[in-house]
Amino acid sequence: MKHTNLTYIAQGSLTTSLSPEDTKNLLAQGFAAWAKHHDQEPKKVLAIPPDITRFHSQAGMLTGQCHDYFGASLTDIMPALGTHAPMRADELDEMFPGVPHDLFREHKWRDDLVTLGQVPQEFVEKVSLGRVHYSWPAQVNKLLVQGNFDLILSIGQVVPHEVIGMANHNKNIFVGVGGSGGIHKSHFLGAAYGMEQIMGKADTPVRQVLNYAEQEFGQDLPILYILTVIGSDEKGHLHLRGLFMGEGQDCFLQAAELSRQVNITFLPKPLKRAVVYLDPKEFRSTWLGNKAVYRTRMAMADGGQLLILAPGLKEFGEDKEIDRLIRKYGYRGTPATLKAVDENPELAENLSAAAHLIHGSSEGRFTITYAPGHLTESEITGAGFAYAPLAELLTRYTPETRLTGFYEDEEGEYFFVSNPALGLWGVE
């Protein structure tokens, strides 16, 4: 089945709030349009939603509605783990209530893979402006190729992202259920190009590489994208602002444009102090929790202070080997990381870890202080951050009830972020 570039559903605006009944009806319309265009009703369907780390994407609800719509035809669900830890049974219940556990398949990013092709080195060099020099393997979990699916549902949220500019779409396929080679090299490509030149943009070097892979090697995968855009109101309540369904690029570009309106906030001046809260249900590692750094760094003033309240923080990497590498080399900025890559084969073979070390550093521009729930002071400082005790700060800032915005305390003005995964902050 060859891809088209059709958009079946595109509904949303800056003020839209789609209800579960709305999404149920829109999904049914989109699936009917897909079936009419392809002149078939799918008999075997695979769903690829995000994992618990994207709980607020509404992808859990949508996956449940897909299960209701397709019934027994939805034979497999594979959360797009990337390098994240597999989902526990209680997490499956929380994110996908009512969906049978026996439908879920674990993605093993180092093992169960098929390489569809290689994006040429010349292309990768060109889009990176000569900053990296390698080809890129287009890898996916072998289930996508060998499962004989009539339809593959790629479900997830479009939101500003530090590696690719705007999350989701074919990133859900080539990274979310991709392999170690593709994950490592895509992350390093984004880091070498520069986060500030990428975040919040739909057209970036990593996206161009994934688009090449999809167009050249993924045409026979029957993928239908289901994309959400999530925003919050003035009271901090989350709303589903948009739902987009389609094949090809157009549905993603429409979702990305809405996300730019909904998820990017431009502040009147650089932040001298910022406090970011990491919900313990969503953030248990700095691999994920460093969104507090990624998403605020363009707003931070030189010499500023970033304080991260992380009651669920218990590790650095979701993967044991990446956790070990982070502890060993630390978040010490681009020059130190590139030197470490040159001198240490173990880091050169794990380029996504190296990229993450670059992403998680302030490059010496501002201080980063972690207040963790479980990691010790020596663990935090050993990784290159400053440390603060958590209990007193939770009492001082009451983060679970505080909305994103400016506040005052005895030290002066500070900016509070209630969930860094939902936005991107910069300066006008």
In this predicted model, what pLDDT tens digit does every residue of 116-169 receive, in sequence order? 999 999 999 999 999 999 999 999 999 999 999 999 999 999 999 989 999 999
Q: Which domain-ending residue is among 235, 264, 293?
A: 264
Q: Give the per-residue pLDDT at 2.
A: 57
Query: What pLDDT, on a 0 to 100 scale, did the predictor assign at position 253?
Result: 97
Do 36 and 132 sit in the same domain of this protein?
yes
> What DSSP state is assigned to residue 88?
P
Say yes or no to pLDDT of 72 above 60.
Answer: yes
pTM given for the model: 0.88
What's the pLDDT score for residue 83? 84
- The C-alpha angle with vertex 249 and arms to 99 and 33, in degrees rounded to 5, equals 55
**Domain shared by 250 and 278, yes or no:** no
**Range in 191-195, 396-400, 423-427 with the lowest mean pLDDT:** 191-195
Where a domain ends, among 264, 284, 317? 264
Domain shared by 248 and 297, yes or no: no
Residues 6+ apart with CB under 8 A from 156: 49, 50, 54, 57, 59, 80, 167, 168, 172, 176, 226, 227, 228
283 lies in the same domain as 256: no
> What average pLDDT does range 3-32 have in this prediction?
95
The domain boundary residue, chosen from 217, 236, 264: 264
**pLDDT of 1 higher than 70:** no
Q: Residue 360 domain-assigned?
A: yes
Q: What is the mean pLDDT of the chain?
A: 95
Span 289-316, average pLDDT: 96
Domains in the chain: how many in total?
2
For position 362, what pLDDT does the model report?
95
Give the CB-side neighbour count of residue 311, counting CA atoms within 13 A. Answer: 13
Same domain for 276 and 366, yes or no, is yes
Q: Output the pLDDT for position 187.
A: 92
The answer on 113 and 70 residing in a single domain is: yes
- Judge whether 204 and 193 are in contact, CB under 8 Å: yes
- Looking at the fold, whether 52 and 179 belong to one and the same domain comes out as yes
Residue 71 is assigned to a structural domain of this protein? yes
pLDDT of 56 higher than 60: yes
Region 253-267: mean pLDDT is 96
CA separation, residue 62 to residues 35, 44, 69, 150 (Å) = 19, 18, 10, 19
Q: Out of 67-71, 82-86, 212-216, which region has the weakest mean confidence (pLDDT)? A: 82-86
- The reply to whether 117 falls in a domain is yes
pLDDT tens digits for 197-236? 999 999 999 999 999 999 999 999 999 999 999 998 888 8
Is the residue at 295 inside a domain? yes
Burial of 130 (0-12, 13-18, 19+ CB in 10 A): exposed
Return the pLDDT at 21.
Answer: 98
Lowest mean pLDDT among 30-34, 101-105, 107-111, 149-153: 107-111
Q: How far is CA 251 from the centre of its chain?
A: 18
- Is residue 2 included in any domain, yes or no? no
35-47, pLDDT tens digit by residue? 999 999 999 999 9
Asked if 271 and 304 touch (Cβ cutoff 8 Å), the reply is yes
What percentage of the chain has pLDDT greater than the value 90? 89
Q: What distance in Å separates the CA atoms of residue 210 and residue 174, rounded to the nearest whole number? A: 7
pLDDT of residue 396: 95
Residue whose pair of structure tokens reads 């240490």 in the numeric block: 344
Domain co-membership, 318 together with 354: yes
Contact predicate 51/318, CB 8 Å: no
Same domain, 25 and 67: yes
Q: What's the CATH code of the domain at 51?
A: 3.40.50.11440
Averaged pLDDT, 297-303:
96
Residues 181 and 95 in one domain: yes
In a domain, 365, yes or no: yes
339, 258: one domain: no
Please tell me the predicted confidence (pLDDT) of residue 75: 98
Residue 1 lies in a domain: no
Return the pLDDT at 84.
86
Same domain, 288 and 422: yes
Residue 112: give the domain boundaries. Answer: 7-264
